[in-house]
Amino acid sequence: MKYLLDFTVITVGLLAVTGLVFGDSDHERDDHRQSSAAPSFAPYQTECGSCHLAYPPALLPARSWEALMAGLADHFGDNAELSAASAAQIRDYLVNNAADHSSARRAAAFANSVPADQAPLRITATRYFQRKHDEVPARLVKDNPKVGSFSNCQACHHRAEAGSFDEHSVNIPGYGRWDD
């Protein structure tokens, strides 16, 4: 009986630590298993982060990053071309850390939300992103001059640069805390 009790206590403890008992997959806690690692590759931070948030690579599949890096001459209306060496270095970093190469749960959710025959160029075009933001009225984002677009993650997710997109700490400028 003592062994059964010890086994039960250990099992429940392990499950709690891994989030399997107390975790809520739809309302993800912001921890190392679920957050999207902040980009740590200096060339990516310098080159891409100088114009916009250096989005965590785990938010798109590798094929999307390959397509984005191949189209830098017309990067959403801007010329973002890099030297061949820099582009190859950054492409390799993004592909190696993409959603379909990451062990993070949120990365898997992004990867699984993109059909195998598609390579979206925008994180906002993934089904996972759309599902997580479907209750946020466009007027609070697109019609909000302090936000402007759903791609402006850091406007509402104040720890986006650290790779944290915890839905429980969303604060929409001009509106306040968002809680769906």
Residue 1: pLDDT band with limits 50, 70, 90? low
Helix residue spans in the chain (DSSP H) = 2-18, 42-47, 62-70, 84-96, 105-112, 127-133, 153-156
**What pLDDT, on the 0 to 100 scale, is given for residue 38?**
72
Domain boundaries, the chain: 1-30, 31-177
What was the pLDDT predicted at 152?
96
Specify burial of residue 65 (Cβ count, 10 A radius: 0-12, 13-18, 19+): buried
- In the chain, helix, strand, coil percent, each to 5? 45, 5, 50
Q: Is the pTM of this model over 0.75?
A: yes
Block residue for tokens 């939300």: 113
- How far apart CA 24 and CA 22 sit, in angstroms, is 7
- At 57-115, the pLDDT tens digits run 999 999 999 999 999 999 999 999 999 999 999 999 999 999 999 988 899 999 999 99
Report the pLDDT value the prediction gives residue 39, as an integer from 0 to 100. Answer: 80
The pLDDT value given to residue 97? 95
Q: pLDDT of 143-172, one tens digit each?
A: 999 999 999 999 999 999 998 998 888 999
